[in-house]
Structure 1
Amino acid sequence: MTDPGLTKPIPGVPPSEEIRAKLAEEGRPVCVAFSGGKDCIAAELALQESGVETVLAHLYLIPGKEPGRTLGFVEDGLKAMEDRWQKPIHRYPHPSFYRMLNNLVFQPPERCSVIEAANLPTVTYEVMWDLIRADLGLPADTWVADGVRAADSLPRRASIKNHGAMKPKNHKVSPVWDWKQGKVYDYIRAHGVDLPVDYEWFDRSFDGIDHRFLRPVMDNAPEDYAQILAWFPLAEMEIIRHGI
């Protein structure tokens, strides 16, 4: 019987169940790009259930007050998952953090020359994951799993159709690519996992510093809001522009 929780098959792309079985058969650890959102949680649970050993790595958008940490509410969500699975979630800066600084996003004039003089690196995702593999002592050809799903959008389905759900060139794999959103939520619920507070505030994981994210953070986590402004002072203009 066809699983109603799965999307229409894509010719030439193996079902996600088959992909997870292949990863288990390889018998090697898989690095999971763990944003803390529903899709990566489902991917991690599905890999665990398939007998795949995983190593979790989180890319944080905003550095926290403590080195190697991020905003408090994000840390709370990551810590809950660490406690549940009894293994660490390794933290690394997100390439977008450097991109925003280098593009002077929400920076006042007096900071611009300082940022430009710092000559911060422009880090691609490919380079970042190469560095993460090396830092974790994983082979260079270790698969990095994400929560990308074809049902998310037409561009994502087109990408999977054109490039597949297992990409040997950059060692990326999408182990729940054919799951619909309902299956993701049902699967997480069946495993008794609580989604982070992000889903109460934003209906998704924290992923930017525009008004959609800033206002709920300002209202619910003022210390984290202040930390965002410490890095991007003019982000407050988003609040003013939409009306305080």
Structure 2
Amino acid sequence: MELRRFIKEKYGAKILLAFSGGKDAIAAWLALRDDGFEILPYHMTLVPGMSFVEESLSRYEAFFGAKIVRVTHPSFFRWLCNLVFQPPERCAVIESYRLPSLTYEDQIAVVRQRLGEKASGVLVASGVRAADSPYRRHACDKYGALRELRLQVWPIYDWGISEVEKAIVGSGCRLSIEYELFGRSFDGIDYRFLEPIKRVFPEDYKRILDWFPLADLELFRRGERSAHA
């Protein structure tokens, strides 16, 4: 609360929010909303065209009454540049395009450009919590929850999981179907994500194969011999 009060006084009520659709991102949105911030949310799309992701984002837009800006996640470009799950005949084609090696900062700049003047110079918030992992605890201890040179802030850095759950349950906001499928938000194209997507959302799985044709091998090496069935 003290951190949120401080940044509101120093930087104003407008704030960008990196919104993955995960529980911590939801909790951060709720905390900022309750403290009177004008939230400008954006989502980095991991693989274009996932219907289950878009359905969840649309539901959150309706719940919070705000438009979520969509940009492509840097990992998508990184996977293509590194030829992840690509057959040999595609490699030369992909390399000929000389795809950019984009960073989070690059994509945040795109978000600011799309939003215009209202996003100029405002902080970028995310749902990072120190208690979530030793790595994040170390990051909070080393850098603090407010990195002013980078215009980054972690508004619920000091929340435990019980506070996250209390905020979400109390708000009436439902977690996305990603938690039923994966137990977390969608953030990879390994077996943990591919198997449930193929089983529950086969059209989305086909879309993944459009981009990464050899992703089927993740299932094949786990014993699913009829991966294309």
Q: Under a length normalisation based on structure 1, what TM-score does the superposition of the two structures give?
A: 0.88
CA distance in 2, matches of 1:200, 1:97: 23
Q: Structure 2: which 5+ residue stretches go unaligned?
A: 225-229
CA distance in 2, matches of 1:133, 1:109: 38
| 2:77 aligned residue | 98
Match of 1:44 among 29, 54, 58: 29
What is the identity, as a one-letter code, of the residue corresponding to 2:215?
A: A
| 2:214 aligned residue | 234
Shift of 1:224: 0.4
The question of whether the paired residues in 1 share the 8 Å contact of 2:74 and 2:103 is answered with yes
Q: Structure 1: which 5+ residue stretches go unaligned?
A: 1-16, 65-70
Q: How does 1:74-153 map to 2 (within 5 A)?
A: 74-137=53-116, 138-153=118-133
| 1:175 aligned residue | 155
Deviates more, 1:146-155 or 1:122-131: 122-131
CA distance in 2, matches of 1:223, 1:192: 30
- Number of aligned residue pairs: give it: 222
Higher relative contact order (CA 8 A, sep 6+): 1
| 1:23 aligned residue | 7
Shift of 1:140: 4.2
Percent of residue pairs bearing the same amino acid type:
48
What SS does the corresponding residue of 2:150 show, helix, strand or coil?
A: coil
What is the identity, as a one-letter code, of the residue corresponding to 2:5?
A: A
The question of whether the paired residues in 2 share the 8 Å contact of 1:56 and 1:90 is answered with yes
Which runs of structure 1 show a deviation greater than 6 angstroms over 4 or more consecutive aligned residues?
Answer: none
2:35 pairs with 1:35: no
CA distance in 2, matches of 1:80, 1:243: 36
What SS does the corresponding residue of 2:44 show, helix, strand or coil?
A: strand
2:36 pairs with 1:57: no
The question of whether the paired residues in 1 share the 8 Å contact of 2:69 and 2:111 is answered with no
CA distance in 1, matches of 2:218, 2:61: 33
Shift of 1:85: 1.5
The question of whether the paired residues in 2 share the 8 Å contact of 1:82 and 1:88 is answered with yes
What SS does the corresponding residue of 1:242 show, helix, strand or coil?
A: coil
What SS does the corresponding residue of 2:25 show, helix, strand or coil?
A: helix
C-alpha RMSD of the superposition: 1.0
| 1:72 aligned residue | 51
CA distance in 2, matches of 1:86, 1:169: 31
What SS does the corresponding residue of 1:104 show, helix, strand or coil?
A: coil
What SS does the corresponding residue of 2:157 show, helix, strand or coil?
A: coil
CA distance in 2, matches of 1:196, 1:188: 12
CA distance in 1, matches of 2:119, 2:55: 30
Shift of 1:84: 1.0
CA distance in 2, matches of 1:169, 1:27: 16
Shift of 1:27: 2.5
Shift of 1:188: 0.3
More helix by share: 2
The question of whether the paired residues in 1 share the 8 Å contact of 2:129 and 2:154 is answered with yes
CA distance in 1, matches of 2:52, 2:195: 14
CA distance in 2, matches of 1:52, 1:140: 15
| 1:13 aligned residue | none
What is the identity, as a one-letter code, of the residue corresponding to 2:184?
A: R
What is the identity, as a one-letter code, of the residue corresponding to 2:6?
A: K
CA distance in 2, matches of 1:212, 1:173: 30
Q: Under a length normalisation based on structure 2, what TM-score does the superposition of the two structures give?
A: 0.94
CA distance in 1, matches of 2:6, 2:130: 20
